[in-house]
Amino acid sequence: MDIDIPRLVAYVVVLVLSASIHEAMHAFIAYDRGDTTAADLGRLTLNPLKHLDVANSLVLPLVTWFATFGAVPLAGAKPVPVNPYHLRRPERDFAFVAVAGPLTNLSLAFFGAMVLVGIILLVPWIDRVSPFAPHSTGTAMVGVISVLQLWVSVNMGLAMFNLIPIPPLDGSRVFRMALPAAVRERFDALERYGFAPVVVLMVILNRSPTIGAWVGEYWFRRPTTFVVDLATTLARLALSVTGA
C-alpha cells in the first residue's frame, strides 16, 4: 500500500492543531464558568504539547486502525479535567463546557472553507467546480488548497464525532441533560469504560455496511456539505460586495 507521506504529515499537523484548540476551548469555557482545574494544570493554552498524550494520541488511533481495518482511524487529545462542582451552575455549565469543543471545530471548518472557496474563486486557473475537486497542478497554491481541504475535513470530523451522544464524547454531556434522573445515573456509569463503547460502535459501523453508510451520509457528509455550501455562499457574497 502506497503512503502519501506529505499528505500524512499534513494530516497529523492539522489534527494535532485542531484537537489542541478543541481542548483549549474546553479549558477556557470551564475557567470562564468558574472552574480553574484545567487552568491550574496548565491546560489553558494552545500549546499542543500540553494537550497530547499516549492514550488518545497514539494508542487510540492504533487500536481503531486495526479494529476497523484502517477504515476509521480515530485520534484525539488528552481530555481537559473539569470539576462540575466548581462551576457556577453545574448541570448547565458542564454542558456548555462540553459543547465548546465541537462548536470550535465547526467554526474552524467554516472559516477554513471560506478561505478555501475564496482562493478558488480568486485564482483563475483553479478548477471552480467544487472546493474539493482534485487539482493535478503541482504548485504551491495547490498545496495550500490541499491543506485547507484537510483542515475542513478534519475539523468537521472532530466536531461531528465528538457530538455522538456516547460517553465519554462531548455529545453525551448534552444528551444526558434530556434523560430522567434514574436513567442518567446508568448512562453516566458508562464513563468507567472509557473509549471502549466508542470503539465498539466503530467496529459495528464498519462491519455493517448499510448502517455505516447511513451514519456516514447523514452524520458526517451532509453536515460537511452544508458547512461548505454556506461558506461558499458567504464567500461569493463577500467577493461581490468588495468587487473582487
Can you give the three-state secondary structure of the chain, one letter per residue? CCCCHHHHHHHHHHHHHHHHHHHHHHHHHHHHCCCCHHHHCCCCCCCHHHCCCHHHHHHHHHHHHHHCCCCCCCCCCCCCCCCHHHCCCHHHHHHHHHHHHHHHHHHHHHHHHHHHHHHHHHCCCCCCCCCCCCCCCCCHHHHHHHHHHHHHHHHHHHHHHHCCCCCCCHHHHHHHHHCCHHHHHHHHHHHHHCCHHHHHHHHHHHHCHHHHHHHHHHHHHHHHHHHHHHHHHHHHHHHHHHCC
- C-alpha distances in Å from residue 53, one per residue of 16, 19, 60, 192: 11, 12, 10, 19
- State yes or no: is 191 an active-site residue: no
Q: Identify the pLDDT of residue 244.
A: 62
- C-alpha distances in Å from residue 126, one per residue of 115, 186, 223, 244: 14, 53, 25, 16
Q: Identify the pLDDT of residue 100.
A: 96
- Which cell is 175 given? 444528551
- Which cell is 52 given? 497530547
**Which residues, in sequence order, are CB contacts of 215 under 8 Å at separation 6+?**
205
Q: Identify the pLDDT of residue 120.
A: 83
**Which residues, in sequence order, are CB contacts of 137 under 8 Å at separation 6+?**
125
The answer to whether 77 touches 47, Cβ cutoff 8 Å, is no
Catalytic residue among 23, 91, 185, 191: 23
What domain count does the chain have?
1
Q: What is the pLDDT of residues 113-142, one digit of tens each?
A: 999 988 888 876 665 545 555 554 456 677
Q: Determine the structural domain holding residue 108 and report its residue range.
A: 5-242
Q: Identify the pLDDT of residue 9.
A: 76
Q: Identify the pLDDT of residue 61.
A: 66
In whole angstroms, what is the distance from residue 218 CA to residue 224 CA? 10
Q: Identify the pLDDT of residue 162.
A: 93
- The reported pTM is 0.86
Write down the residue that cell numbers 465519554 correspond to.
168
Q: Identify the pLDDT of residue 145.
A: 86
In whole angstroms, what is the distance from residue 222 CA to residue 230 CA? 12
pLDDT means over runs of 10, the chain (244 residues): 68 86 96 96 90 76 63 71 93 94 97 90 63 55 84 93 92 90 88 85 84 91 94 89 75
